[in-house]
A and B are shown apart, each in its own frame.
Chain A
């Protein structure tokens, strides 16, 4: 198995772009990544595109628009982890020696408001049992019952990530928010307030993976682990109608992070910077518990002691996270990879985590799908 390197990254900022097609968002990111990698028309041998809402052959349309079609091209859908799944597939092709260089990209143009998902049968929508924020709310309540998490901790983690987001020119929201302001925002589903939830939006990200560390900015892909759920948890991201009372079902995130460290020659203590899934404030804390950034049940204390701050080690969501950036499903995981690549290159500007050498990216969502990627300099 050969090492795999990120040799170029590209990003279309996350936000709302009424005039731009999803193809043009993807093309923007792809062009940037290929230019950075010094990769021309014949410079990559396959392409993997993560997207959920973009329709038939969406990745092909991007390469067609750029005059780069011809290589094997695969569109990958794995819910919130789509971009991570695309990267895992691409990296395996390079590691296994089938291709020397592959292009991985992800893009999305999400409808406004509450996410409508073909994942749910129509009767579940009609019965009011397909309300995504309500599932998030139940998960938040469970976290508050089973962990030491208080309502103020949910507000605090959102406030911290929004403060980080102020320094990210690619984020949708760049305004610092106070804990009181977050607590006073509209109740969407108790206990979650509007400013504790991320917004579905639009954007694109792209990464060139190569077997050779070409150029000074190359970063190694130490692991890309993808897992789905085991049945049993009624609040699992596969959003079942039922589950069982017995505890102890490993979550997709717990399985993916275990696989990632088993695959990499790295230890959890080596990680300097983390970009974790924060579709809502409770998800952020649960992610920290599942990833082992704090003990299970200790997420509240982790927040209160500043565990989610950019200044602690590992630094968490220096980009501002999805709470600041918004979530364009197919692009969000690769957006994390782009951010971590900048961090490991020392090129993250005011967001820079000093001396960062190892980064961890985490996405989890519908399916259920979880992806954990480890990058190292």
Chain B
């Protein structure tokens, strides 16, 4: 089986402590952002530091995508939403749960890395997602 590849580099890590999102924090205004960038999207200062965010989060908003959007080769339906991490960072994310009756605002969520589709060379392409803590 071919080795899994991240959907893009630099978005998340999956080390001994489990998965983390790679976010950025501005050295000048201290505001966090994701994905990590060297220039702060809030104040324009250079020299943002990378921080690891997660794995815990709270669910803010959620829906289920029923038909494949352009450029997407994964399964449908899939969950899609916004979660809030420590420090007030809100992130747009896939959700492992597309059965909306199992989701509610404020639900405790946990970061996971999951396969989204298999590329033309047979490699699983993985992305981060959040799953309900209680599931």
A131 and B69 alpha carbons, distance in the complex (Å): 5
A131 and B127 alpha carbons, distance in the complex (Å): 16
Let me know if A266 is at the binding interface, CB within 8 A.
no
Fill in one digit per residue for A208-252: 1 if any B CB lies within 8 Å of its CB, else 0.
000000000000000000000001101100011111111000000
A189 and B64 alpha carbons, distance in the complex (Å): 6
A123 and B89 alpha carbons, distance in the complex (Å): 21
A207 and B42 alpha carbons, distance in the complex (Å): 37
Let me know if A125 is at the binding interface, CB within 8 A.
yes
B69 — which chain A residues lie within 8 A by C-beta? 114, 125, 128, 130-132, 134
Let me know if B15 is at the binding interface, CB within 8 A.
no
A130 and B94 alpha carbons, distance in the complex (Å): 11
Let me know if A347 is at the binding interface, CB within 8 A.
no
Residues A126 and B64 in contact, CB atoms below 8 Å apart: no
A113 — which chain B residues lie within 8 A by C-beta? 70
* Interface size classification for chain B: 35 or more
A114 and B66 alpha carbons, distance in the complex (Å): 12
Residues B92 and A122 in contact, CB atoms below 8 Å apart: no
| Chain B residue at minimal CB-CB distance from A115 | B70
Let me know if B88 is at the binding interface, CB within 8 A.
yes
A187 and B33 alpha carbons, distance in the complex (Å): 32
| Chain B residue at minimal CB-CB distance from A188 | B66
Residues B7 and A127 in contact, CB atoms below 8 Å apart: yes
Let me know if A129 is at the binding interface, CB within 8 A.
yes
B67 — which chain A residues lie within 8 A by C-beta? 114, 188
**Counting chain A CB atoms within 10 Å of each CB, which of B42, B66, B89 scores highest?**
B66
| Chain A residue at minimal CB-CB distance from B58 | A245
Residues A126 and B70 in contact, CB atoms below 8 Å apart: no
A128 and B100 alpha carbons, distance in the complex (Å): 17
B100 — which chain A residues lie within 8 A by C-beta? 190
Partner of B82, one of A114, A126, A133, A138: A138
A239 and B72 alpha carbons, distance in the complex (Å): 17
Partner of B63, one of A121, A122, A189, A245: A189
Q: Give chain A interface residues in 231-281, CB to chain B under 8 Å.
A: 231-232, 234-235, 239-246
Q: Give chain B interface residues in 78-97, CB to chain A under 8 Å.
A: 78, 80-82, 84, 88-94
Of the A-B pairs whose beta carbons lie under 8 Å apart in the complex, a sample of 9, sorted by A's number, is: A125-B72, A128-B65, A133-B65, A138-B80, A231-B41, A231-B42, A240-B92, A242-B23, A242-B89
B residues near A, CB below 8 A? 7-8, 23, 31-35, 41-42, 61-67, 69-74, 78, 80-82, 84, 88-94, 100, 105, 116-117, 125, 127
Besides A130-B69, A132-B69, A235-B61, 6 new A-B residue pairs in contact (Cβ under 8 A), listed by A number: A123-B8, A126-B117, A127-B8, A141-B63, A189-B63, A189-B80
List the 10 closest A-B pairs by CB distance, nearest first: A125-B71, A245-B88, A123-B8, A131-B69, A116-B70, A242-B34, A137-B63, A234-B90, A138-B61, A189-B63
